[in-house]
């Protein structure tokens, strides 16, 4: 009969002192020691090791096996990205962000940025607004900037340099630069029109508030209209005639240096305007009126005058013509004595 007791964790059969006799006592003790020598703290082979029983002071290999049933992994924050040769394939934390060093190139890859996940290669996400981002689409060759999800961002930068896509950097000097003047006294907005002009060959216009519009041209009557409120544009160019608001303007038959201006006025003997516009008159003596143009001509105009409604034959005389006016004298055709009478004149010259 054997007198032994079994241990609780490894089921070791140990001899009961004073009761188990040799050589059974020695055999049982040797068998128990062999089990103790082979124990590994797995179930049935010793008490399971608790965290307080561990003191890990070096790298802990898992033998290419997985760490399973983890609730979470808590990292110690590093002061900077890990860059040792042994840090390849490592996941770690720098400051408040998660990093990974890839295996193939040892590249330091930030995974989080300021409270959100960083974008894929070629993108910037997690900007101060939270969902702001900048992304590059290789398929379209387009950068997209967002201030929030599905909301386009405003851009604030210096000179905008435009090149034909695909030509950069050859030719290096071919570009269009859009820039603000250095002496800009304040900010203002330029707003593009809401719709594309329906007709081809439309002219661009701009209001005082910087709203860009367009002016359609009728190729038949060459009537110009505008879609910008407050800009009076209504010019008709039928054939060789020039019109403004549907009325003919006076033009030179030659390629003059300036447009032609015309004044036609009817005055009484005292210089009062009876009809027409563009001049005033002052009587300086019997049959004499000084005529002054409201707006000077660019050069001395040609003036033609005539008297009217007279019982006796009269002659009219234009003297001292200038860019600003002339002297009108009316005389009796028979006696040559000056006589008061209504008169009319036309002055034609270059517009100032």
Q: Are 228 and 208 in contact (CB under 8 A)?
A: no
pLDDT digits (tens, 9 = 90+) for 216-258: 665 555 555 555 444 455 555 545 556 666 666 666 666 666 7
Q: How far is CA 58 from CA 61, 78, 259, in A?
A: 9, 17, 96
Instruction: List pLDDT tens digits, range 120-141.
Output: 666 666 566 667 788 887 778 8
pTM metric for this prediction = 0.38
d(CA 147, CA 130): 9
The pLDDT score that the predictor gives to residue 27 is 80
Residue 184 has pLDDT above 80, yes or no: yes
Residue 275 pLDDT: 95
Confidence band (pLDDT; 50, 70, 90) for 344?
very high
pLDDT score for 257: 67
Pick the CATH number of 260-350 from 3.40.50.10490, 2.60.40.2080, 1.10.3210.10, 1.10.260.40: 2.60.40.2080
143 half-sphere exposure, CB direction, 13 A CA radius: 9
The 10s digit of each residue's pLDDT in 62-102 is 999 999 999 999 999 999 999 898 899 999 999 989 999 99
**b (16+ CB within 10 A) / e for 48-70:** eeeeeeeeeeeeeeeeeeeeeee
Question: In 1-92, where does DSSP find H-type helix?
Answer: 24-37
pLDDT average, residue stretch 201-226: 68
State residue 105 phi and psi, 5-degree precision. Answer: -120, 0
CATH 2.60.40.2080 residue ranges in the chain? 260-350
Contact at 8 Å (CB) between 266 and 275? yes
Mean pLDDT of 129-156: 83
Supply 104's token pair: 């193939």
d(CA 166, CA 242): 47
């Amino acid at each position: 009969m054997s007198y032994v007791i079994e241990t609780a964790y490894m089921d070791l059969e140990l001899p009961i002192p004073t009761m188990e006799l040799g050589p059974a006592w020695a055999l049982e003790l040797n068998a128990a020691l062999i089990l103790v020598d082979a124990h590994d703290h797995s179930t049935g082979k010793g008490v399971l090791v608790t965290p307080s029983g561990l003191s890990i002071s070096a790298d802990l290999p898992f033998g290419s096996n997985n760490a399973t049933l983890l609730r979470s992994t808590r990292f110690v924050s590093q002061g900077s990205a890990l860059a040792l040769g042994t840090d390849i394939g490592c996941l770690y934390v720098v400051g408040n962000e998660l990093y990974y060093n890839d295996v193939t190139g040892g590249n330091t890859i930030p995974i989080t940025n300021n409270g959100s996940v960083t974008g894929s290669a070629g993108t910037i996400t997690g900007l101060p607004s939270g969902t702001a981002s900048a992304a590059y689409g290789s398929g379209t060759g387009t950068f997209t900037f967002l201030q929030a999800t599905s909301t386009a961002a405003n851009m604030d930068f210096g000179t905008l340099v435009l090149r034909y896509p695909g030509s950069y950097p050859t030719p290096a000097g071919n570009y269009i630069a859009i820039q603000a003047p250095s002496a800009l006294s304040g900010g203002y907005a330029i707003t593009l029109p809401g719709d594309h002009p329906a007709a081809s060959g439309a002219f661009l216009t701009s209001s005082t508030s910087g709203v860009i519009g367009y002016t359609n041209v009728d190729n038949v009557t060459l009537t110009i209209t505008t879609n910008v409120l407050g800009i009076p544009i209504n010019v008709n160019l039928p054939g060789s005639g020039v019109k403004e608001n549907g009325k003919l303007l006076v033009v030179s038959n030659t390629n003059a240096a300036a447009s032609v201006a015309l004044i036609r006025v009817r005055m009484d003997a005292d210089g009062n305007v009876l009809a027409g516009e563009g001049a005033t008159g002052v009587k300086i003596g019997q049959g004499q009126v000084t005529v002054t143009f409201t707006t000077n001509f660019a050069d001395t105009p040609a003036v033609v005058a005539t008297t009217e409604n007279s019982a006796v034959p009269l002659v009219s005389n234009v003297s001292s013509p200038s860019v600003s006016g002339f002297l009108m004298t009316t005389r009796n055709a028979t006696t040559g004595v000056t006589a008061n009478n209504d008169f009319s004149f036309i002055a034609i010259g270059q517009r100032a």
